[in-house]
Amino acid sequence: MNIARKFHTASRLINGKVLVTGGYNGISLNNTELYDPSTGIWKTTASMSTERQEHTASVVTNVNVLVAGGIKDGLFLNTAALYNPSADSWTVTGNMHRLRGAHTATILRDGKVLINGGDSGDGFLNTAELYDPSTEIWTTTGNMNYKRVDHATSLLTNGKVLVAGGLYHGPLNSAELYDPSIGIWTTTGSMSDTRQCSTLSTLINGKVLVAGGFNGSYLKSAELYDPSTGNWTTTGSMNFTRRCHTASLLADGKVLVTGGYNGVYISNTELYDPSTEIWTSIGNMNIAREHHTASILTNGILLIAGSEKGNDMYLNNAELFPLP
């Protein structure tokens, strides 16, 4: 990349390119860049009007990219902006109702974007709101039962949204379901382990895999959530403890986990097979990293970008990881 960064976002566009936005490398960033898989080159694109890190980015209407919230050099944001790839331009869109960073964003079946939780600078949040791309307006929706930051969310095959874990007065094991048809969160079964900075992946069979995280100790444990019962069951553990890693659902239904941190930065990658519930190490990245992004390209290769590597060292390095 042209700029070193962590706490950025990466979004694969309809044209197959990958848009990276914002982040942090000693200061909050407003610059953005595009990776073109056909040339292997990063190109600087139009900058956002506001610097932001720990924000979210969502591809809406299958074309534009919505960035929302985040932190600008210690100040929490409620602003949002839309990137138009065809015009290479950003436009301001409606503001969220709450300042928030380190939240999550989920694209619902109807195309709206659900934002929930995070940190407002004055405390952690249980609030949630919806962005409608057709009107560019945010509306509040039901509150979660628990405040949480550093949580994970995933869209279920039934259209509901599962949120699990996070941090509030310590790491959480609680989980909740959001039903877009009624705008209400309901509690569901709790995980066996409390965990923050973990990953959630909805599998092809409809179950949800949570992996790794941190609860005072670095975790390698993994669990499966079954929406039909509302219960979690333990599944095979990863070979390495890790937090702040990435998890990518592959076309064959397996889940690829990369990097993270467990007292040292991790270069290892491993693959979860739902049919056997076994994790297999499949090689190392060239550079150990956490707070990076992982994007599956249309050519079936994983693009890994950015990170930190300790001692205020930020990476502009990117690498391509052929998928198994």
User: Hey, where are the domains in the chain?
Assistant: 154-166+185-323
Q: Which residues contact 159 (CB under 8 A, 6 or more apart)?
A: 108, 109, 180, 181
pLDDT at residue 312, rounded to an integer: 78
38-62 burial: b if 16+ Cβ within 10 Å, else e? eeeebeebeebebbbbbbbbbbbee
Is 48 a residue whose pLDDT tops 90? Answer: yes
- CATH 2.120.10.80 for the 154-166+185-323 domain, yes or no: yes
pLDDT averaged over the chain? Answer: 98
| CA atoms of 256 and 121, how far apart (whole Å) | 33
| Residue type (1 letter), 241 | T
| CA atoms of 211 and 260, how far apart (whole Å) | 12
pLDDT at residue 324, rounded to an integer: 82
The more confident residue out of 324 and 191 is 191
Query: At CB < 8 A and 24+ separation, what contacts does 187-194 make?
Result: 187/145, 188/162, 188/225, 188/230, 189/225, 189/229, 189/230, 189/231, 189/232, 190/232, 191/164, 191/165, 191/223, 191/232, 192/221, 192/223, 192/232, 192/234, 193/219, 193/221, 193/223, 194/165, 194/170
| CA atoms of 93 and 292, how far apart (whole Å) | 27
The pair phi, psi for residue 133, each rounded to 5°, is -60, -25
Residues 182-200, mean pLDDT to the nearest whole number: 99
Sign of CA dihedral 162, 78, 169, 309: positive
Nearest residue to 116 via CA among 97, 134, 132, 137: 97
pLDDT at residue 221, rounded to an integer: 99
Residues 41-63, mean pLDDT to the nearest whole number: 97
Q: Kindly tell me the burial class for residue 239, based on how many C-beta atoms sit within 10 Å of its own C-beta (0-12, 13-18, 19 or more).
A: middle
CA distances from 140 to 18, 69, 94, 119, 215 (A): 30, 15, 13, 17, 31
Residues 3-8, mean pLDDT to the nearest whole number: 98
Angle, CA of 27, 163 and 236, to the nearest 5° = 100
Percent of the chain with pLDDT over 70: 100
Instruction: Give the pLDDT band (50/70/90) at residue 310.
Output: confident
pLDDT at residue 311, rounded to an integer: 76
Q: Kindly tell me the burial class for residue 8, based on how many C-beta atoms sit within 10 Å of its own C-beta (0-12, 13-18, 19 or more).
A: buried
Residues 16-30, mean pLDDT to the nearest whole number: 98
| Residue type (1 letter), 8 | H
Percent of the chain with pLDDT over 90: 97
DSSP designation for 88: T
| CA atoms of 17 and 187, how far apart (whole Å) | 38
| CA atoms of 81 and 57, how far apart (whole Å) | 10
